[in-house]
Amino acid sequence: MEPLDAEALDGFAMLEGVGLTARRELLAAAVHRELQPHDLLIEQGVRHAKMFLVLSGELGVHLESPESDPVALIGAGETVGELSVLDGSEASAYVVAKTPATLLEIGEDDFWGLTNVSHAFALNLLLALASRLRANNAQVSKNVEKRRMYERAAMFDGLTGIHNRRWLDETLHRMVERNARGGGHLSVSLIDIDHFKSFNDTYGHAAGDHVLTVVATTLAANLRPTDLVARFGGEEFVIIFPDTEIKLAQIAAERVREAVAAEKLSMPDGTALPCVTISMGVAELEGGESVPDLLKTADLAMYRAKQAGRNRVMVGHRSDLDGK
């Protein structure tokens, strides 16, 4: 490789404003490196007290392994490794050649020597660190937002848009524990769409999905602000009535049942569908009762509502479990 002159470093932002004399001394001390694709330049977890100037080619920055997808690319005119020189720490990522690459390797002593003799280099270094800090903050914010989005998606039913079984399990257990500590009332209702399998078989799964969505929306729209609804699974839903005794929960359940029965149904394309009804079982938490037993009590009451002709609300009690 032909010797480089000081002007060959003009493209490096890190060396902007650095005098020719300092550049020549840097070039004289630098070690030329040639990398082939997949060559490892920096290994995660290992201290590399060197800064590398990329003269040509492209490097990839990898977090999980040298074979993982790169999180960043480093090209000609850029530098890498200076952070490890600054803080003396182990490398936090792998740096691997993506294409044939030519680099200048600057040792730790020469790095600090340049910092001492060149105010411009020290300033460029600070600007580079500030830029990376902003980029890291932006990435952290993006990751936090993405995590929140995933967490939200994990708690909501993809079809109906209301809370899902996972959310229900966590929330109901938390409410039961709070009730055990502080007392008060807590009621739930287990709901099933009547003859839903027959409806699906007759009108198709698209119509069935539409009905599930309409029922979920109708349930949510006819509850008090403090009441909570979730899809339990299939065509079943659960309503939580916080701070509500069984008589008031029964009244609220009747209001919801009537709203669903009165809902006029049609597909988005205008195709009319028959109305559907729901059967509901309501139960109130009794002292020391577990979440599964509470839901089972409501489930048995719902089953009795179906046996009694459907489209109705039945009240369950914990004593019903003795004869289950």
Q: Which of 235, 236, 245, 254 is catalytic?
A: 235
User: What span, in angstroms and rounded, lies between the C-alpha atoms of 109 and 118?
Assistant: 14
Whether the pLDDT of residue 247 is over 70: the answer is yes
Per-residue pLDDT band for 13 (boundaries 50, 70, 90) equals confident
Instruction: Name the nearest CA neighbour of 46 among 101, 5, 84.
Output: 84
Weakest-pLDDT range from 112-121, 181-190, 207-216: 112-121
Reported CATH class of domain 165-323: alpha beta
User: What span, in angstroms and rounded, lies between the C-alpha atoms of 213 and 157?
Assistant: 10
Instruction: Give the model's pLDDT for residue 157.
Output: 92
pLDDT tens digits along 189-221: 999 999 999 999 999 999 999 999 999 999 999
Instruction: Name the nearest CA neighbour of 34 among 87, 101, 107.
Output: 101
Neighbours of 92 (CB within 10 A): 12
Contacts of 204 (CB under 8 A, 6+ apart): none
Whether the pLDDT of residue 73 is over 60: the answer is yes
User: What span, in angstroms and rounded, lies between the C-alpha atoms of 22 and 126?
Assistant: 18
Contacts of 104 (CB under 8 A, 6+ apart): 4, 27, 30, 31, 32, 33, 52, 53, 55
Weakest-pLDDT range from 28-37, 186-195, 250-259: 28-37
More confident residue, 47 or 87: 47
Per-residue pLDDT band for 82 (boundaries 50, 70, 90) equals confident
Q: Are strands 228-233 and 265-266 parallel, antiparallel or unpaired?
A: unpaired
Instruction: Give the model's pLDDT for residue 6.
Output: 66
Considering the chain, what percentage of its residues have pLDDT values greater than 90? Answer: 60
User: What span, in angstroms and rounded, lies between the C-alpha atoms of 282 and 249?
Assistant: 7
Contacts of 141 (CB under 8 A, 6+ apart): none
- Please list the residues that pair with 90 across neighbouring strands: none
Instruction: Give the model's pLDDT for residue 25.
Output: 86
User: What span, in angstroms and rounded, lies between the C-alpha atoms of 225 and 231?
Assistant: 18
Class of residue 304 by CB neighbours under 10 A (exposed 0-12, middle 13-18, buried 19+): middle
- Please list the residues that pair with 97 across neighbouring strands: 59
Total count of residues recorded for the chain = 324
Instruction: Give the model's pLDDT for residue 140.
Output: 65
Whether the pLDDT of residue 1 is over 60: the answer is no
Mean pLDDT of the chain: 89
Whether the pLDDT of residue 129 is over 90: the answer is no
Per the CATH hierarchy, to which homologous superfamily does domain 6-140 belong? Jelly Rolls (2.60.120.10)
| Mean per-residue pLDDT, 48-66 | 91
Considering the chain, what percentage of its residues have pLDDT values greater than 70? Answer: 93
Domain coordinates of the chain in residue numbers?
A: 6-140, 165-323
Instruction: Give the model's pLDDT for residue 319.
Output: 86
CB 293 within 8 A of CB 184: no
Whether the pLDDT of residue 299 is over 90: the answer is yes
Contacts of 318 (CB under 8 A, 6+ apart): 283, 286, 289, 293, 297
Instruction: Give the model's pLDDT for residue 72.
Output: 87
| Mean per-residue pLDDT, 92-116 | 92
Whether the pLDDT of residue 255 is over 70: the answer is yes
More confident residue, 319 or 259: 259
CB 279 within 8 A of CB 194: yes
SS3 readout for the chain:
CCCCCHHHHCCCHHHCCCCHHHHHHHHHHCEEEEECCCCEEECCCCCCCEEEEEEECEEEEECCCCCCCCCEEEECCCEECHHHHHHCCCCCCEEEECCCEEEEEEEHHHHHHHHHHCHHHHHHHHHHHHHHHHHHHHHHHHHHHHHHHHHHHHHECCCCCCECHHHHHHHHHHHHHHHHHHCCCEEEEEEEECCHHHHHHHHCHHHHHHHHHHHHHHHHHCCCCCCEEEEEECCEEEEEEECCCHHHHHHHHHHHHHHHHHCCEECCCCCEECCCCEEEEEEECCCCCCHHHHHHHHHHHHHHHHHCCCCCEEECCHHHHHHC
Whether the pLDDT of residue 19 is over 80: the answer is yes
Q: Assess whether 236 carries a catalytic annotation.
A: no
Instruction: Give the model's pLDDT for residue 34.
Output: 95
Per-residue pLDDT band for 287 (boundaries 50, 70, 90) equals confident
Instruction: Give the model's pLDDT for residue 145.
Output: 75
